[in-house]
Amino acid sequence: MTGNAKAPRNVIFNADCIDVMRSFDRGSVDFILTDPPYITHYRSRDGRTVANDDNARWLAPAFNQMHRILKDGGFCISFYGWNKIDLFAQAWRAAGFRIVGHVVFRKSYASSTRFLRYEHEQAYLLAKGEPAMPPHPISDVIDFPYTGNKLHPTQKPVEALAPLIEAFTRPGDLVLDPFCGSGSTLDAAQRLGRDWTGIELNNGHYHTASRRLAPRSGRAVA
């Protein structure tokens, strides 16, 4: 991290992530892994929706704050909606991120079928400054086991997130997920011996993530 820059550790906030991140010191986070709304008016088969998936007003301010609080030479991995990539890429670049890699998550099932069968998720690897190369680069294609979306309508599997955290952080580093949903990123970070901080706007998902992390961590929620 930069100097003595500080950010809360092992805590989940139930609030707007932009407001929360503004309270963090510059350069106080080691790594960001997040799955923000795709801006696609998503509705699951059972009718569940995602907060702020109907607008892009949050997009640029959120990534501005992520860039500010990420350490120099740090990475952010962001999932995105493929049909809104122009909006996401514009926000990333405006914040100061460089796009340095792309990850495809290979599913064994189709999440939906339209012109094609949609059998993958995707994320971009974003860099702040000039980061060092990882000692053991991982594949840009990762298997994506089905979670059943039991905890969240777009729940990501810990098994697909853990290799990313392991590749781009060290034990004791702080991993942030500003759109933490049911807490999959935080769960993966904790299992790997990393500190974690999550922010979730939806009260129900916040409580799900809090219950998921609290039994093993004994740490705080906010």
User: Per-residue pLDDT tens for 87-96?
Assistant: 999 999 999 9
pLDDT at 111: 84
Q: Coil, helix or strand for 129?
A: coil
Q: Are 192 and 171 in contact (CB under 8 A)?
A: yes
Residue 141, domain CATH? 3.40.50.150
Q: What's the structural domain count of the chain?
A: 1
Rounded Cα distance between 50 and 43, Å, is 8
For residue 66, being part of any structural domain is answered with yes
For residue 2, being part of any structural domain is answered with no
For residue 3, being part of any structural domain is answered with no
Q: Which residues of the chain register pLDDT less than 70? A: 1-4, 42, 215-222
pLDDT at 143: 96
For residue 60, being part of any structural domain is answered with yes
For residue 211, being part of any structural domain is answered with yes
For residue 120, being part of any structural domain is answered with yes
pLDDT at 214: 84
Rounded Cα distance between 89 and 137, Å, is 23
Residue span of the structural domain in which 98 resides: 11-221
pLDDT at 215: 65
Q: What is the pTM of this model?
A: 0.93
pLDDT at 120: 95
For residue 4, being part of any structural domain is answered with no
- On the 0-12 / 13-18 / 19+ scale of CB atoms within 10 A, 207 is middle
For residue 27, being part of any structural domain is answered with yes
Rounded Cα distance between 147 and 97, Å, is 30
